[in-house]
Amino acid sequence: MEVALEDNNLMEKVLPPDEQEIDVELEAKEKKYLRGEGANLESLKDKKLKTQLASREKLYGKSAKAAAKIEKWLLPASAGYLETEGLEKTWRIKQTDIAKEVDLLSSKNQYDIVLPDFGPYKLDFTASGRHMLAGGRKGHLALVDMMNMNLIKEIHVRETVRDVAFLHNDQFFAAAQKKYSYIYARDGTELHCLKEHGPVARLRFLKNHFLLASVNKIGQLHYQDVTYGDMVASIRTGKGRTDVMEVNPHNGVVALGHSGGTVTMWKPTSQAPLVQMQCHPGPVSSVAFHPNGHLMATSGKERKVKIWDLRKFEEVQTIHGFHAKTLSFSQKGLLAAGTGSFVQVLGDSSGGGGGYSRYMSHSMVKGYQVEKVMFRPYEDVLGIGHSMGWSSVLIPGSGEPNFDSWVANPFETSKQRREKEVHLLLDKLPPETIMLDPSKIGAMRPSRRKERPTRGEIEAEKEVAIEAAKSVEMKKKTKGRNKPSKRTKKKKEMVENAKKTFPELEHSNIAGKKRRIGEDAAAELPASLKRFARKN
Amino acid sequence: MRIKTISRSVDEFTRERSQDLQRVFHNFDPSLRPMEKAVEYQRALTAAKLEKIFARPFVGAMDGHRDGISCVAKNPNYLKGIFSASMDGDIRLWDIATRRTVCQFPGHLGAVRGLTVSTDGNVLVSCGTDCNVRLWSVPRPSLEDSDLSSEKSTEPSAVYTCKNALLAVDHQFEGDLFATAGAQLDIWNHNRSQPVQSFTSGSHSVISVRFNPGEPDILATSSGDNHISIYDIRMSSAARKILMRTKTNSIAWNPMEPMNFTAANEDGNCYSFDGRKNEEAKCVHKDHVSAVMDIDFSPTGREFVTGSYDRSVRIFPYNGGHSREIYHTKRMQRVFCVKYSSDATYVISGSDDTNLRLWKAKASEQLGVILPREQKKHEYNEAVKNRYKHLPEIKRIVRHRHLPKPIYKAKAESRAMNDAKRRKEDRRKAHSAPGTVVTESHRTRRIIKEVE
């Protein structure tokens, strides 16, 4: 009987191979939901706190397991894919070939809208991918419902429109026009004229913070809070005119690409950039951020596209061959680059970001000059704004198939939209929360116990200070004031000042000397006077 | 070539009829939610502020007694009723929902010192300084009793006389016995006019008595000579005795962990003991400035409420050293008795100003019927606030309480005094040989000895 029981136990430990695979898969997914390492509870001395935290860590583990299982079994849709057989290559497949293989609903997403009169078009999508805003350079603004291909509103502002951006939902949008920027409502009414921004070259909206960021022709960066109209920051970048600006969705940091080849990153609360990276030898043509916030793609006029890792600020990959005027990352990490009338989509073969290679491509009619490419959220669609209007092509595997109704719902009713707006406003983050590593919020700063520096350290510091004081170059005075004696006096004074900041050593030195003097003196005194020597 | 693209049909993702609920889809992937920690922190801040906005703990006062209230008793069988007795011998049964007197029990000539109800809710036992123990039959509440204008009064079903004034009474949890405290500890039966058993201990009177909810034969008493004694009725003398530095005014057993009890002491602290191990207190609960007069545990066993001579009512966690809540009013004078209601929602305090006050146990709780979505939102707010409550901004908001000036000043003074003592102690330790100066832990500091 006992032997049989033991056998059973052994059986439970060794899983059949399919279940083993599933286990490994689930573990990988679980890591994603754990959001980092668990806390090290060994160093805690407080037993009550230790048990409380330990039970919480267990709970996190359980919830991560449950989320991993849900992702595996319960999500309604699966991602798109494009697989070739034999000698076929994915980048040779044309949109016409795809149209034959794909269902009716998807083929509706492939079209070209020709509007030759109003100049190159810039696009923007709402967070759910349902609405699209197209802005033509010559002043054409169009708000389209992509689900029904319904033109909601179309206005002609009769002056140059350089960029368009949606605010938090489809009810409001902003257009950067010739002299000022304007905010319009969904029905085309002009709500606000943003004079302070000046002639804006690029407009972007930070969703979590309700900040409208703009860079203007003088190279100034403005952040305006659109809930109550406050200008949160206006920063003089000092690097001249640029029209390359992107927002990192992971941490809300704004990246500007400059004509010297540097990419600088800004936050509204500081006048100096957070990071300055020398990316290209020539001007930076465009910048794009991966949705996970770790990867950045930049392109320069020297016909290279570079992929950077933002955790280490190192280059991960260089793609040669074309000058990408516009770049865009999709939700699944595909990179679209537009040059001339040719759009190339690159896919990552390795998980971390180093393996971007050709995935698909789309070449348009020669006369169409690509102005902007942007992937549509939650769909396998790439929107291309070009000089003759805009097009939409299918890129299987680019969009996230499962949306979360509480984050972005493409099938929103008006009631849900209103509720969501209120919740977004309640969760509005203050501009101080924009930082390079957003996970630092809620963490405690490690307590630094102030250790008194050792004597050796103090002496070393003192010597460094003296050296610094000696090596200061003094101004050469004229008109008879430049006497050598005065110069040496001044130098000595500076060295004395440097020494003054280390008073403790002085006292201990003196005390030591006094003692030594006392002992020496005691040795020199005649025997009868020795009783009067200082005894220590 | 194999291709698949995302194509969502509208009817899969929208509702069929307008009577249906809207369809909700979840994807818990963290990459869809950028800056989730910052958003969570913002929500915690909002939750903390909302908690303060909705914090209205005072529900109402029950007015009617003509002298200060000396004791309160709750009926284990009937949630809405509460008994209170005052210093002039007036015993009343209140209906908490309407805050009116349902029934009066006149009869005592002096102050009523102890009040308790049997576990089946039928018999009310009261004792007082007129050396009497009176047993009353509790009127059955019925639907007809909603007639508020009639205040009935009843006759006692039995009156037993003793030789000395009685100071406290408590009823056994499962049985027919009740214990009175006075010059000595007496155990009575409902039907006998003389005590069934008596325990004498020294020359000091027994101040308070409390039966253990788990073991029907064990009770804890406190006496005027600073002892806490645990008796087993089946034995002839005290099972355990603890001698403290100051006297204990009241004792309460933890209903969920019946081996632990908490003693409300005259020095302003409450000491939680493990009944089996008495050398040191399990926990010292310090926040009151003056003597703690009464203590009662919540039925969950996780919190207890204390009323003190410093005109405040505090709620402590069962294992925490400091109170999580303080209730005070300008009109509330010395609090002599407190009770935690049997549904863990309300706290009742009886004080010297002849009023019985009803407070909410959780100050910002929404009373009444709560929809499941509201309930979930409350739970979420609570959880997110607890996750970030150690951070300075949120900690400041969550901890903030308005204290009456005398208590504020007394606390500042005691803090200064304690800091000075600790500094001196630290310096003595630093300047003497290691091991010669030993700091006594708070848990043993006030206990002089344990007597078996």
> What pLDDT, in 10s, does the model give residues A374-397?
999 999 999 999 999 999 999 999
Q: In the predicted model, what is the mean pLDDT of chain B? A: 92
Residue A84 contacts B where some CB pair is shorter than 8 Å: yes
pTM, 2 dp = 0.85
Segment 499-518 of chain A within 8 Å of chain B by CB: none
Extract the tokens encoding B247: 């006297």
The predicted model gives B215-224 an average pLDDT of 93
| C-alpha atoms less than 13 angstroms from C-alpha of A249 in its C-beta half-sphere | 16
Helix (H, G, I), strand (E, B) or coil at B440: coil
Digit-coded pLDDT (tens) for B17-56: 999 999 999 999 999 999 999 999 999 999 999 999 999 9
Q: Does B38 touch chain A (CB under 8 A)?
A: yes
Given pLDDT bands bounded at 50, 70 and 90, which one contains residue A466?
A: confident
Q: Could you say which of B7, B27, B387 has the minimum Cβ distance to residue A403?
A: B27
Tens of pLDDT along B340-385? 999 999 999 999 999 999 999 999 999 999 999 999 999 999 999 9
pLDDT computed for residue B154 by the predictor: 81
Checking if the pLDDT of A454 tops 80, the result is no
pLDDT at A504: 58
The structure tokens listed for B199 are 């325990």
Q: What is the pLDDT of residues A394-417, one digit of tens each?
A: 999 999 999 999 999 999 999 999
- A353 lies within 8 A of chain B by CB: no
CA pair distance B451, B13, nearest whole angstrom: 74
Identify which has the larger pLDDT, A535 or B414: B414
What average pLDDT score do residues A174-203 get?
Answer: 96
Contact criterion met (CB below 8 Å) for A402 and A216: no
Taking the Cβ of residue A87 and every Cβ of chain B, the question of whether any pair is shorter than 8 Å is answered with: no
- B39 contacts A80? CB cut-off 8 A: no
Q: How confident is the model at residue A4 (pLDDT cuts 50, 70, 90)?
A: very low
- Closest Cα of chain B to A391: distance in Å? 18
Judged by a CB distance cut-off of 8 A, whether residue A85 touches chain B is yes
In this model, does residue A2 exceed pLDDT 70?
A: no
pLDDT at A488 over 60: yes
Q: Using CB atoms and an 8 Å cut-off, which of residues 465-484 of chain A contact chain B?
A: none
Q: Determine the pLDDT at residue A260.
A: 93
* Touching B: A residues 411-430, CB under 8 Å: 411, 413, 416, 426-430
Question: Is residue B17 within 8 angstroms of chain A, CB to CB?
Answer: no
Mutate to test the interface with B, among A46, A427, A444 (most CBs of B within 10 A): A427
Question: How confident is residue A40, by pLDDT bands cut at 50, 70 and 90?
Answer: confident
Residues sharing a CB contact under 8 Å with residue A437, sequence separation 6 or more, in sequence order: A251
Q: Higher confidence at residue A393 or residue B203? A: A393
Strand partners, A132: A125, A144
**Residues of chain A contacting residue B14, judged by C-beta atoms under 8 Å apart:** 411
What is the pLDDT at residue A38? 83
B386–A contact, CB cutoff 8 A: no
Q: Is the pLDDT of residue A363 over 90?
A: yes
Of A82, A413, A441, the CB nearest to B38: A441
Please give the ipTM for the structure prediction: 0.82
Using the Cβ of B377 and the Cβ atoms of chain A, whether some distance falls under 8 Å is answered with: no
Asked whether the predicted pLDDT for residue B319 surpasses 50, the reply is yes
From A5-14, A212-221, B72-81, B250-259, the region with the lowest mean pLDDT: A5-14
| A227 touching chain B per CB within 8 A | no
Alpha-carbon gap, residue B11 to B13, rounded angstroms: 5
Show which of residues 249-278 on chain A sit within 8 Å of chain B, judged by CB atoms: 249-252
Q: What is the pLDDT of residues B387-445, one digit of tens each?
A: 999 899 999 999 999 999 999 999 999 999 999 999 999 999 999 988 888 888 888 87
Rounded to 5 degrees, what are φ and ψ at A241?
-75, 135
Encode pLDDT of A115-133 as tens digits. 999 999 999 999 999 999 9
Decide: A135 and A121 in contact? Cβ < 8 Å. Answer: yes
User: Tell me, what amino acid is at A138?
Assistant: K
Q: How far is CA B361 from the centre of its chain?
A: 9
| Residue A24 to residue B181: CA distance in whole angstroms | 68
- Partner-chain contact A405 B38, CB within 8 Å: no
Assess B6–A contact: CB distance below 8 Å, yes or no: yes
Whether B114 and B108 have beta carbons less than 8 Å apart is answered as no
